[in-house]
A and B are shown apart, each in its own frame.
Chain A
């Protein structure tokens, strides 16, 4: 810990007895809990504001932050003698950070020598102050008592939480930095060799740091996700550059959505299903554009409009089911996880960090041809799912919040989506129900429009399905193979164009 030359209370002891003097100290007088809370706050601010320009300073600051965190961790009383499994994640992080520091020392290549990040440095100093405070009073902490034990566990969680957020922020900055480099190179007319894993923007010289920081982030996340048990069992994280990820995600989504729909399902889950189908349609359009620009696909004029129409229909239907949902309604766990994986798998291809990539960039992604293929397969299969979802609209026992349904009923009449009643000024939902925030049965116009929209969605999904089918498909299992790479399907149908990387197969199959 750095020597603190500022006066402490003990240094101005005499003034304590002077009635005209108020003893002042500029030392950090916060409790350890407050300091950890401050580290958490700073890490969140960092993560929300981080950009590509921060990558170098963050990378330089990371090793000292981890060292300070380990110092505080080690200062906490109650450590068991020998190797403590509980400490293994922080020890791993410390070792990883030490090697990063060694690589940075004396390095002339990026990020080279330069300033560190003020926010992370503030976090580091706060952790050091906390460690000093704990060491000073650790003998007084009855760590064997339950309350103190919990307090110490909370401190460890806070430390690791701060490291997790910061590691994630460094990774975001590195990705953004890579993207800025690619953009600059393109604008200056230089050729750019995009990365083939993690992200196309994980280009030299940031790519290697992305790899190393990803390991740090995973170590911290594993500790937090179920404390350290998961990390101890050595559970392998799915590699982010697994080319079969989207195929498996969509296959799992198909299973989970059907399983969920086979049961009585809350509207919140139907919203999730329909919105995810909308996402699949939108992401498929992005992939088709990218595949066309890469010369992997010759889409017919009907493909993109058909998928777009299906996407709009799914989202329109989702909006109607959304009227029936109350905030805080739980989603089915397996369904939510499957949807999250579909979103993550698509983003791996279509996004960089939190930004939608351009078609030209997406076109360079490894596995694009397979991803587009399984995505079109999902569009093809969505026709059947739309019929299953449509059956849910026939349930006569559907209810929803009075206010939302009243508004929807009037809108549906006004827009002509439901039949106008013969009498004027029909009150579809009682004002007393709205005032009392009751759940009410669907008013006739809402139920009618929900059924109509469900049928329209099934029709649109059917059209998209048939057009997607014409653009070829292959056995999803072969696509799901991690070794599938970006190779063109062996049983491709019309619309597919073999990738230029496969010699002798560059014939166009499009009609």
Chain B
């Protein structure tokens, strides 16, 4: 499975290029999933279809479409966590946990985490089924936070595992001296296999390492979409810096909406960005004159610039 993240400033044409890439790859016989992570979806508008969280086949082709509902992802995840909570503390069944979900959407970080959960699910489940997964991302700020999350989470998990290991070491020492675990005789686990917290930490570590390895792998491409204008250039530069810091592979630069009138600016933007991105392939895409839903009529073949082997 190969994956492409279309990133860039809002309104530069990420969704259009994602849709076009998906359509063109499907035309070449590939099984493709195009999914939108942008909370303000317009993938459905481009194809003239009503899309939802459920993956849907587009007109009997090998192209599949989805508008990821981040809130639903977060709810599904929290529900599974609450399920474990109910198993451990049966009295929580008395509470109606569902009513808390409504306010959780406003919790800090939930949107990013929901996107991470959806991304992990994509790589794990859909990666087996599709040749290509194309992800239409939200504007730069949120995208960078989502892409940074596996690395940040792993750094925290590493520290927590270290502390937990020290705790288990101390418990083991006490067990060796006294033959029991706690002063009140409570049985506290002292091996990594017995300790549920350590097991959970390692399971999470394993999960995020997999996501990170998918993001940094040869089969992944962070494609940057930029328009020939100053604001788009500035935001693209922030994205270039961000992906460099995270060690993510930015392989393609799409200069979108290039016309005769803005040719000079496009050249200037390209020069600036390619100085920061020496090994990146650049593709110019002219302004699309057709109205949606007609992205698949796009004449420019953009799949050759994706930098992923066929």
Do the two chains belong together in a single complex?
Answer: no
